[in-house]
Amino acid sequence: MSRIGKKPIPVPSGVKIAVSGSQVCVEAGSNKLAITTRPEVTVRFDDQTRQVIVERRDDERQSKASHGLTRALINNMITGVTQGFVKELEITGVGWSAQLKGQQVSLNVGYADAKLVPVPAGVKVEIAGNKIKISGSDKQKVGQVAAEIRSKRPPEPYNGKGIKYSDEKIVRKEGKAFAGGGG
């Protein structure tokens, strides 16, 4: 049995859960998220205990995999509508910058042209100096936008220039050492 999948998900007060067939909707205030579950699992909401229970129909490999995944996705939806998710990036490089232009992030990171990254609906981007803060209620969208921005100029180990997550440690390498001599 999946250790993650069998744990019930506590639902805080103020969060509405709607389960209809394979559709699960989570709503709190103005935030609303929905997913369609796989047919191998069933989701039910217990009103008395205010818990969401995810059960699988059999012990097949796909059912076991979907069991824990579905529970984790619903738990992330509840966390997202109540607290939200945040990713922070840092730009390191002389003269490198980022700007918000409408629904796009414009990155000037050492290329001849600015790199543009679209920002989907439901994701908020704030830029302060060399720091980029990405927040939203959908964990997947927040992580995807952060990964796309980072992919435009990943950090390199020799000079330490690039776009990195704020909690990421870059292992620095030593450049070529001149041995001297000649020939």
Q: How is residue 64 written in tokens?
A: 């076991």
Q: Torsion angle, CA of 112/103/92/176, rounded to 10 degrees?
A: -50
Put simply, whether the predicted model's pTM sits higher than 0.95 gets the answer no
pLDDT at 178: 78
Which overall architecture, per CATH, does domain 9-82 show? Alpha-Beta Complex (3.90)
- Structure confidence at residue 85 (pLDDT): 97
The reported pLDDT for the residue numbered 176 is 83
pLDDT at 1: 54
Q: What is the DSSP string of 117-152?
A: EE--TTEEEEEETTEEEEEES-HHHHHHHHHHHHHT
* Residue range(s) occupied by CATH 3.90.930.12 in the chain: 9-82, 85-165
Q: Which fold has domain 85-165?
A: Outer Surface Protein A; domain 3 (3.90.930)
Per-residue pLDDT of the chain (183 residues; tens, 9 = 90+): 568 889 999 999 999 999 998 999 999 988 999 999 999 999 999 999 999 999 999 999 999 999 999 999 999 999 999 999 999 999 999 999 999 999 999 999 999 999 999 999 999 999 999 999 999 999 999 999 999 999 999 999 998 899 999 999 989 998 887 776 665
State residue 174's pLDDT score.
87
- CA 92 to chain CA centroid, nearest Å: 22
Across 47-181, the runs of DSSP E, i.e. the strands, are 51-56, 85-92, 97-101, 104-108, 115-118, 123-128, 131-136, 162-165
Distance CA 148, CA 143 (A): 9
DSSP labels for 12-48? Answer: -TT-EEEEETTEEEEEETTEEEEEE--TTEEEEEETT
Predicted pLDDT of residue 2: 67
- Alpha-carbon gap, residue 26 to 54, rounded angstroms: 15
